[in-house]
Amino acid sequence: MPLEALAYPMREDIAATINLQFAETDAQSFVEHVLTEHGNVALVSSFGTESIVLLDLVARADRNAPVLFLETGMLFAQTLEYQQDVAEQLGLTNVKVVRPAAEDLKTKDPFGRLHMGDTDACCDIRKVLPLERALTPYDGWITGRKRVHGGQRKQLDLAEVEGDRLKFNPLAHWSGDEVRGYIEAKGLPKHPLISQGYASVGCAPCTSPTKAGEDPRAGRWRGQDKDECGIHFIDGKAVRA
C-alpha cells in the first residue's frame, strides 16, 4: 500500500486520540505537548482581542516557537502597534510576518478595494494563499478558535486534520469569562480596540464593534453571509459561510 494512503488515516487517529486523552488537560500542558511531540508546529495569530492568551501560553512553553502573523495590509493601526508591543513584552523571538504576494495585489487588487465587491476573493489573496505558502514547512499549526465564537466553530475540538497537517485548538472549550480571567490574572496587555466595543478584530474595512448579547464575531463582515475568512477548512473545504 502506498505510504500516502497510510499517512492520512494515521493523522485522523492521532487527532482522535488527542481529543480523548487531553479533554481534561490544562491548556498550558496541551500547548507544551503540541510543541514538543508533533513535529514542526507554528502558532498562527491575528494578534486580535483574545490572541494574547495563546501567545502567552506559547511564550511560556517556548519563546522561540514560530508565530505566523497574517498582515493583510488592511489591519487596524492599533493591531500593528499591539503586535510589536506584545511580541516584545512576551519575549517572542520568532514572529514571522506573513503578507500577500505583491503580484496578487498588483493584478487582483491594485486599488485596495476588492473587499468592497468580493470579500471572498480579497480574503483569498490577503489571507488564504499567504497562509498556505507560510505553512509549507510545518507539520501542524495552533489556532485560537473557540466554540463560544459560534457559527461553524460550535463543534470545534482540540485537534483536527486539515489536509496533510494537524491543527490544534488548545482553547476550543474556553468561555469568554475564562479568556478574560486569564488575561486579568496574568496582567497581560489588552488589544486597544476592546475598550471601543470590538469583541473580535480583523481587517479594518470588515470589522465593526459588537452589541451586548451578540456572538463575539458578529462584527466581522457584518451584514454579509460570511463569518470565516477561509483559512479554516471543514472536510477539506474552505469555510465560507
Q: What are phi and psi of 173, to 5 degrees?
A: -95, 5
Q: Which positions touch ligand SF4 (CB under 6 A)? A: 72, 74, 115, 119, 122-123, 126-127, 202-203, 205-206, 229
Tell whether residue 61 is among the known ligand binding residues: no
- Neighbouring-strand partners of residue 45: 69
| Pairing verdict, β 140-142 and 233-234 | unpaired
User: How far does CA 137 lie from the centroid of its chain?
Assistant: 17
Least distance from C-beta 121 to ligand SF4, angstroms?
Answer: 8
- Answer yes or no: 229 catalytic: yes
Residue with smaller CB distance to ligand SF4, 115 or 145: 115
Tell me if 232 sits within 8 A of 239, measured CB to CB: yes
Calculate the alpha carbon distances from 101 to 187, 211, 231 in Å.
Answer: 37, 35, 16
Measured CA to CA in angstroms, residue 128 lies from 60, 91, 132, 237 at distances of: 28, 28, 6, 12
Whether residue 230 contacts residue 124, with contact meaning beta carbons closer than 8 Å, is answered with yes
Least Å distance between CB 238 and ligand SF4? Answer: 12
Q: In the complex with ligand SF4, which residue's Cβ is closer, 15 or 206?
A: 206
- In the complex with ligand SF4, which residue's Cβ is closer, 34 or 83? 83
Sole residue written with cell 494512503 = 5
Beta strands in 80-139 (DSSP E): 95-98
Q: Which of 217, 66, 86 is nearest to 141 (CA)?
A: 66
Active-site residue (options: 229, 230, 231, 232): 229
Kindly state the smallest distance separating residue 203's Cβ from ligand SF4, in Å: 3
Q: Considering beta carbons, is residue 51 or 119 the nearer one to ligand SF4?
A: 119
123 annotated as ligand-binding: yes
Minimum Å gap between C-beta 118 and ligand SF4 is: 8
Query: Residues forming the annotated binding site for [4Fe-4S] cluster?
Result: 122-123, 203, 206
- Provide the annotated active-site residues: 229
